[in-house]
Chain A
Amino acid sequence: MTKPSPLIVDEDLARHTTQRLVGKLEAVALVVQATGLTTTATIDKLMPGGQQLLYGLAVVHIALAIVVLRVGGPFRWGAGWAGMWLGLVFLMPLIMAHLVAPTQYGSSPACVPLCGYANGPFLIMAFYPWIHPRLTPIRPALEVTLIVALGVEQFLLVHALQGQLTSTNVTSVLSGLLGNTTAFLVGKAVGSMCRRAARAQLEQQHENYEEFFNFLHSHVKGSILAIKKKGVSADSALSQLRYLDEVVTTRRLQMMGFTDNVPLAAIFKEHIRRFEGSVGRAPQIGALSVDRTAAQLIDRALGDLLSNAVHHGSRVDIDFSRHDGLLRLQVSDDGPGLPDDVLDDPSTSLFRLRRDARGVGGDLTAQQAAQPGACLVFSVPIRIPRRRRSGVT
């Protein structure tokens, strides 16, 4: 017997969910870095050859983004590759320090040249499960150290180039660091969202398990205990088995309605099984699936029409056809026939069924049967437009 999967948001599930949700984000980060390089090359005053170098680096980043789209990014491939990308983050301030005039570096209160280069890698570093699970406890310290180290590097560069640190220099470096920290915090928020998505999925599954467990306890276990009782009669045991059969069938039909692609033959099967001895002719339906609303209506129609037919007759024939996007179900019996106004009587289930069928573009009509007896035809679209689904009760 297949074991159900455990309901735990463990590290594996969180990693898997994160990787699935944000798979291509590293390519986006590389494109953003390329944009930053191009902007800096275009706007900032650079030493001779600096513009060409930055344009060239931008092209390399675009090429890397294309590769990453195909094979996955540095963080996906592990700490070694992620380390190389983070290494570039520390290399870029050194490059920029050589490409701008010595007094220029850190002279703008906005931030140092190419301060946004680190944002993409820091954002992804914040949420992506790139570190080995065993090192998770030291991860926050590692990440903070990297951000602080970048700031320290920039301070050291300014001091090395200018021999001092002015308030403008400090503002310049700290502004850039603020942007990097913000990107990091956004990454943490993304990671939190991914974990919450995994948790929400599991909570829903937990509710479903609980509900099914209660069903097994209340109905299935209860019936089995009643059957196992000492001295229980064969009739009583058979009655319990019939009850069990009925509740399991009802449950299976409910569960079929959980998806939006319900195999029609499976719905028919559950109903025909209930009235097996009375069903004469049954159709061949094949692979046809219907949406959940159509499935609910057909389930109701089969329940009502077959119950009615079996109650009044001894043999029931079921015919089924499909034409122009409409499904047509015909149920005929050899009973005394139906009163003329049965479909117009609001107290009957057939009236409500007809009302709901018409609400979605179908219908329920009484037809003149070839032989004595009743013949009802129920029709419903294969796919019901969303705007019409809410009216079905």
Chain B
Amino acid sequence: MKVLIAEDGAQYVGYFAEELTTDHGLDVVVTDTPGEAGKLLASGQFDVAVVDILFDAQIAEFDRSARSRQVPLTASRLVLSGLSVIDSARKVNVPVAVWTTGEPNRHLHLVFAYELQGVRSFCSKQAGSGSESLHQAIVGAAEGRPRIDAMLRLFLPPDGAPALAETILSGPASKRAIWRALAYGAHSRDEVHELTGIAKSTIGNLTSIAMFDDLALFDAGIQRPNRFGFQTRAKFNELVRYATSNRAFFLDDAVRASFR
């Protein structure tokens, strides 16, 4: 079986690739960039793709250019992540196993991969002490069997929970544009308007009602402003906090391509 591993953790990926080859007889190719992974998958030579979610170099590059506003919000490339690699794998019918640490800032990526990209094999980098768990995830993906490590299962939504596409990513394109503007660094209605061109009254209406309600539906623990507070401002601040904590997701190229 030929396996592509898209992973930038130089400290350990070599070790895992070697064990998969010597102990399990797999033919393993490693790449540390999602762009290169996409090109390799298009060649059609792989049976399974093992995909990391976030790549440090991509995030660092985006942070640098976003801080100086060199990259506009409407640029075709903002943050390239494992979700784009999964899309490339799906195009050529290569099954995918997601391999990640399961940090909170990858949570929405995991949910996206599960709900919208059909990934059912998830392996935690912190599982076990060798490559056995990863090997099982690869075999599970190849055979079409769901295989989800306990530590990553925690991040996936329970049955019947409102989905991303029904909540945060639902509705008109203006809502998603506002999320992106908030993730990009806009912290006021004026700044969102500057970045998106959406009318300030529309921004006010969407953030105080539809977007906040969507978020509260997706995450039932979201703090609702008390009855006597400045509700509109408090709701807006909550959306800013959420967008900032999950900026890599809202600005992700694959997410933007699927939900314009």
Residues on A lying within 8 angstroms of B by beta carbon are 1-2, 70, 260-261, 263-266, 268-269, 272-273, 276, 279, 282-291, 322, 382-383
Contact = CB atoms under 8 A, between A and B. Distances in A.
A286 B161 contact: yes
Given A261-B221, A383-B221, A2 B60 contact: yes
Contacts of B154: 265, 268-269, 272, 282-285
Contacts of B158: 283-286
Contacts of A266: 102-104, 107
B94 to A, nearest CB: 26
B111 interface: yes
A265 B127 CA distance: 16
Nearest to B157: A286
A288 B221 contact: yes
Contact of B151 (A272, A322, A382): A272
Nearest to B200: A70
Contacts of B173: none
Given A269-B102, A284-B154, 8 more contacts: A266-B104, A269-B155, A272-B150, A283-B153, A284-B159, A286-B111, A286-B155, A287-B107
A291 B223 contact: yes
B223 A383 contact: yes
Interface in B91-141: 102-104, 107-108, 111, 126-128
| Interface of B (DSSP majority class) | loop
11 contacts: A1-B56, A261-B241, A265-B104, A265-B155, A266-B107, A268-B154, A272-B154, A276-B128, A282-B154, A322-B220, A383-B223
Q: How large is the interface on B (under 10, 10 to 19, 20 to 34, 35 or more residues)?
A: 20 to 34
A276 B127 contact: yes
B166 interface: no
A288 B223 contact: no
Interface of B: 56, 59-60, 63, 102-104, 107-108, 111, 126-128, 150-151, 153-159, 161, 190, 218-223, 241
A279 B159 CA distance: 21
Contacts of B104: 263, 265-266
B175 to A, nearest CB: 17
Nearest to A277: B128
Nearest to A286: B157
A291 B220 CA distance: 11
A70 B241 CA distance: 24
Contacts of B220: 288, 322, 382
A289 B102 contact: no
Contacts of B151: 269, 272-273, 276, 282
B126 A273 contact: yes
